[in-house]
Amino acid sequence: MYYSTTLPSPVGTITLAGHDGNLVGLWTHGQKYHSETIPEAMVENNDIAIFDITKKWLDRYFAGEKPDIAELPLAPTGGEFRQSVWKMLCEIPYGTVTTYGEIAKSIAGKTGRESMASRAVGGAVGHNPISIIIPCHRVVGANGSLTGFAGGLQMKVKLLEQEGLDMSRFKVPKKSTAP
């Protein structure tokens, strides 16, 4: 059975989803692809251990701490390629960014391919079912453009500022480019 709960946060209302003691989803209100990876109806339940652990993790994050992703049992649902991209996202340190192209190059190297399309990586990043914790907001365009965030560009800016990034070096497109 899949369970859900909601909680307020500095970036709006967050919905958490849990299954078998793991966190399987974290979405903000109005986020693209909200709960698309959950295969059945979720039952609201505020008394699940993973939700308590996640709420404490998020409280620490929004208080300016840098909690370790490994503290949470994460189980995002997705194919092998998406899983490999999400795993790489978890390796991006707080307060830093990488590009879609850098991730594509790294995955290509790990899989023995000559190259990989940045757009494919962008699709996987955009469909990340555990946003904020799996830090898809730390991925930017090669030219410094803040592109491709399913939670919206304002939220991406807020999360990067939360982590202490100097936003003056980034470009905010006039229109969202989320996949």
Catalytic residue numbers read 136
Three-class secondary structure of residue 171 per DSSP:
strand
Please return the burial class of 55, using the count of CB atoms within 10 Å of its CB with bins 0-12, 13-18 and 19+: middle
Q: How far apart are CA 5 and CA 146, in angstroms?
A: 29
Q: Which two tokens mark 5? A: 């709960």
Give the three-class secondary structure for 163: coil
Helices (H) and strands (E) counted in the chain, each on its own, are 5, 6
